[in-house]
Amino acid sequence: MRRAPDARGSQPRAPSACHMRPVTAITARCTVHCSCTAASSGLFIPMKQLPDIVQKVAPYLPTYRYGQLAWNAIGFDIKEPLGAPALWLLGYGIVFVVIAVRAYRREDRKTFG
């Protein structure tokens, strides 16, 4: 199926995959958030080199628990039972799913009444 030429006489082209959607502010925020939580969880910098306040907060971040599972998988001792990080991650998953469902329902009610 041919498309009609535009005003200049050239054929319109379909957008390529890389031009479908511009980078949005939410993408940038997510990138910064993920980088900060990974860095403050001891994934990029050893925990002993992080500031004291970050060392106290890090065990409550999901990326810290992912890191523990990864360290254990390659043979490092994580100094707590393997089930503990898995249970923490399960808890985080449940909390985030509940938040996502509530946000979806709220947006749905706002949009469709």
pLDDT digits (tens, 9 = 90+) for 23-73: 677 788 888 888 888 888 888 888 889 999 999 999 999 999 998 888 888
Q: Is the residue at 16 inside a domain?
A: no
| Domains identified in the chain, total number | 1
Closest Cα partner for 88 from 66, 55, 111, 58? Answer: 66
Q: Are 37 and 61 within 8 A, CB to CB?
A: yes
Q: Is the residue at 105 inside a domain?
A: yes
CA gap 112, 5 in Å, rounded? 39
Q: Is the residue at 79 inside a domain?
A: yes
The pLDDT, as a whole number, for residue 34 is 85
Q: Is the residue at 65 inside a domain?
A: yes
Q: What is the pTM of this model?
A: 0.65
The pLDDT, as a whole number, for residue 107 is 92
Q: Is the residue at 3 inside a domain?
A: no
Q: Is the residue at 5 inside a domain?
A: no
Q: Is the residue at 100 inside a domain?
A: yes
User: Which structural domain range is residue 62 located in?
Assistant: 22-112
| 99: pLDDT strictly greater than 70 | yes
Q: Is the residue at 35 inside a domain?
A: yes
The pLDDT, as a whole number, for residue 10 is 58
Closest Cα partner for 39 from 26, 54, 20? Answer: 54
| 6: pLDDT strictly greater than 70 | no
Tell me the pLDDT of the chain averaged across its residues. Answer: 82
